[in-house]
Amino acid sequence: MKELFEKTSINGLELKNRFIRSATWERMADDKGHLTDRLLNVYEKLADGGAAAIITGYAFVVEDEQPNARMMGIYNDSFIDEYKRLTDTVHKRGSKIILQTVYGGSFTWYKTGERVIWGPSAVTNKVSNVTPKEMTLEDIKMLIEAFGDAALRAKKSGFDGVEIHGAHSYLLNMFLAPFFNIREDQYGGSAENRARIIYDIYDNARAKVGKEFPILIKLNCSDFMGDKGFTFADCKEICRNLAARGIDAIEISGGPVFRAPKPEKDPSDFPVERIGKESYFAAYAKEIAGAVDVPVILVGGNRSVEIMENILNDSAIEYFSIARPLLSEPDLINKWSKDKSCKPRCVSCNKCFDENGNICVLERE
Q: Of 12, 145, 156, nearest to 86 (Cα)?
A: 156
Check pLDDT > 80 for residue 263. no
Confidence of residue 1 (pLDDT cuts 50, 70, 90): very high
Q: What distance in Å separates the CA atoms of residue 24 and residue 173, rounded to the nearest whole number?
A: 17
Note the pLDDT of residue 244. Answer: 98
CATH number of 8-363, picked from 3.40.50.2000, 3.20.20.70, 3.40.50.1010, 3.30.470.20:
3.20.20.70
Nearest C-alpha neighbor of 233 from the set 222, 220, 241, 243? 222
State the Cα–Cα distance between residues 49 and 331, nearest whole angstrom: 4
| Half-sphere exposure for 47 (CA within 13 Å, toward CB) | 20
pTM: 0.94
Q: What percent of the chain has pLDDT over 90?
A: 85
For residue range 180-218, what is the model confidence (pLDDT) as tens digits? 999 999 999 999 999 999 999 999 999 999 999 999 999
In this prediction, residue 356 carries a pLDDT of: 84
Q: What mean pLDDT, rounded, does the chain reach?
A: 92
The alpha carbons of the chain give a radius of gyration, in whole angstroms, of 19
Give the pLDDT confidence of 123-155 residue by residue, as tens digits: 999 889 999 999 999 999 999 999 999 999 999
**Tens digit of pLDDT for each residue in 231-255?**
999 999 999 999 999 999 999 998 7
| DSSP strand pairing (19-21 vs 319-322) | parallel
Q: Is residue 274 scored above 50 in pLDDT?
A: no
Rounded to the nearest angstrom, the gap between the alpha carbon of residue 319 and the centroid of all alpha carbons in its chain is: 14
Question: Which of 110-114, 252-256, 257-261 is modeled with the greatest confidence?
Answer: 110-114
Confidence (pLDDT) at 248:
98
Distance separating alpha carbons of residues 252 and 220, to the nearest angstrom: 6
The predicted-structure confidence for 16-62, as pLDDT tens digits, reads as follows: 999 999 999 999 999 999 999 999 999 999 999 999 999 999 999 99
pLDDT band for position 365 (50/70/90)? Answer: low
Helical axes 196-209 vs 232-245, angle rounded to 10°: 20
How close are the terminal C-alpha atoms of the chain, in Å?
44
